[in-house]
């Protein structure tokens, strides 16, 4: 099956700038990401297709080759590799296989900044309805005086040792391997006058302040990826990504299970016996449940659509109210007398029909003891 044109995959023109490519890829990734489409093979294939297209078009060298030769360039190993492989020459093959053994590697230029993880605590209401959160992330950021270049005067020169590649080829016996250039540390550039603030590193320790949009329906363990908001890379390198992980605090009334919410509703035994209309809380206000006469502890009443709207689908969960029949305390003398009179009405052979669970329990106990003593 022939591959679709990479520009068509991302929905951009052939003259699209880097920012436009990045935005198009983000849209596609958010739409087709496997986490948002669990079990959807078509979405997974579209996600991989968009990722492959962006990896080629965001690389200037690969993009020029693709514009000239199309997919055939990478299928035949042209241009230093394709999304699946390919090498310049036999030395590159050995360098790729044995680079780790000899401390080398094929990466050119400095490594991108590290990815970061930040845990944001949310109230249940914030997680259910979504919220904008201001966070402060301690990390390495680009040095402002030198604009991240590491040079006091902003001037950097191409390294004469590696000629800007950031890698040098070393002969180790019969193998030729590549490793980071010792003269520039893999940057591919040298600095004559290092910045006095960052001492030529291009980065300083600081706090990055961000406004994060938390979508409605998230739950503990969900992660939000903020591309390029991680640790700043060294001069000439891209920054890492920031992963904001959600942790929802315990709620005094509701417990969440998936997209459903649960709560316990205490009722007086007279309400449970006679039936009553009970007002219960929801995250959107109050609701009414009709408790029929003879209701027992543990009875669940379902309020459809009063739960959580899923962040991954269009479905909304339910609110399930569990009735708990509450025993009265601090009784007055009058109330005690009334209860005694009421309890006396259960004596005799007619009491069992008013307390079916109690009668069944006593029958079970009697049967148990008969078996134990026989």
Domain ranges of the chain: 1-86, 255-373
Least confident of 26-35, 257-266, 273-282: 26-35
Most confident of 68-77, 84-93, 207-216, 346-355: 207-216
Q: Is 195 annotated as a binding residue?
A: yes
Give per-residue pLDDT as tens, 132-154.
Answer: 999 999 999 999 999 988 888 88
Nearest to 323 by CA among 260, 372, 275: 275
Nearest to 311 by CA among 14, 38, 95, 12: 38
Residue 92 has pLDDT above 60, yes or no: no
Instruction: Say which CATH topology domain 1-86 has.
Output: Helix Hairpins (1.10.287)
Model confidence pTM above 0.85: no
Q: Taking phi first (over 0 means left), then psi (-120 to 50 degrees means alpha), and beta for anything else, what does residue 123 get?
A: beta
Residue with tokens 């739409």: 31
Q: Is 143 annotated as a binding residue?
A: yes
Evaluate whether 108 touches 166 at the Cβ level (below 8 Å). Answer: yes
What's the pLDDT score for residue 218?
A: 94
Q: Taking phi first (over 0 means left), then psi (-120 to 50 degrees means alpha), and beta for anything else, what does residue 258 get?
A: left
Local confidence band at 3 (pLDDT 50, 70, 90 cut-offs) = confident
Angle at 139 between CA 134 and CA 140, to 5 degrees: 135
Q: For the chain, give the number of residues.
A: 374
What's the pLDDT score for residue 75?
A: 61
Q: Is 162 annotated as a binding residue?
A: yes
Most confident of 97-106, 320-329, 348-357: 320-329
Q: How many CB atoms lie within 10 A of CB 101?
A: 10
Residue 73 has pLDDT above 90, yes or no: no
Evaluate whether 320 touches 262 at the Cβ level (below 8 Å). Answer: yes
Top CATH class of 255-373 equals mainly beta
Give per-residue pLDDT as tens, 235-256.
Answer: 878 899 999 999 999 999 999 9
Residue 94 has pLDDT above 60, yes or no: no
Residue 119 has pLDDT above 90, yes or no: yes
Q: Is 263 annotated as a binding residue?
A: no
Residue 181 has pLDDT above 70, yes or no: yes
* Torsion angle in degrees (nearest 10) through CA of 118, 146, 109, 157: 180
Evaluate whether 311 touches 215 at the Cβ level (below 8 Å). Answer: yes
Residue 185 has pLDDT above 80, yes or no: no
179 DSSP assignment: E
């Amino acid at each position: 099956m022939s591959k679709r044109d990479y520009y068509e995959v991302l929905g951009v023109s052939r003259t699209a700038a880097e920012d436009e490519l990045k935005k198009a890829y983000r849209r596609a990734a958010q739409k087709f990401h496997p986490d948002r489409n669990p079990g959807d093979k078509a979405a997974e294939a579209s996600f991989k297709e968009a990722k492959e297209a962006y990896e080629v078009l965001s690389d200037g060298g690969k993009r020029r080759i693709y514009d000239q030769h199309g997919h055939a360039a990478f299928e035949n190993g042209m241009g230093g590799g394709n999304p699946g492989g390919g090498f310049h020459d036999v030395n590159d093959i050995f360098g790729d296989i044995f680079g780790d053994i000899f401390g080398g590697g094929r990466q050119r230029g400095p490594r991108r900044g590290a990815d970061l993880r930040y845990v944001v605590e949310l109230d249940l209401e914030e997680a259910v309805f979504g919220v904008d959160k201001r966070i402060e992330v301690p990390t390495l950021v680009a040095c402002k005086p030198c604009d991240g270049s590491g040079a006091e005067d902003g001037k950097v020169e191409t390294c004469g040792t590696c000629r800007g590649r950031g890698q040098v080829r070393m002969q180790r016996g019969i193998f030729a391997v590549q490793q980071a250039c010792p003269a520039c540390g893999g940057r591919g550039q040298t600095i004559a006058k290092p910045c006095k603030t960052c001492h030529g590193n291009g980065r300083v320790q600081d706090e990055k302040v961000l406004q994060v949009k938390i979508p409605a329906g998230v739950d503990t363990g969900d992660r939000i990826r903020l591309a390029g908001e991680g640790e700043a890379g060294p001069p000439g390198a891209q920054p890492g990504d920031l992963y904001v992980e959600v942790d929802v605090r315990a709620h005094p009334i509701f417990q969440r299970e998936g997209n459903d919410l649960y709560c316990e509703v205490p009722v007086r035994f007279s309400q449970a016996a006679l039936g009553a209309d009970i007002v219960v809380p929801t995250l959107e206000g109050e609701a009414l449940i009709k408790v029929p006469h003879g209701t027992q502890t543990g009875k669940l009443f379902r309020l459809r659509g009063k739960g959580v709207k899923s962040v991954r689908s269009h479905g909304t969960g339910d609110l399930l109210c569990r009735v708990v029949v509450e025993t009265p305390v601090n009784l007055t003398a009058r109330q005690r007398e009334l209860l005694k009179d009421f309890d006396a009405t259960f004596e005799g052979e007619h009491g069992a029909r008013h307390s079916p669970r109690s009668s069944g329990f006593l029958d079970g106990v009697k049967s148990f003891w008969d078996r134990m003593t026989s």
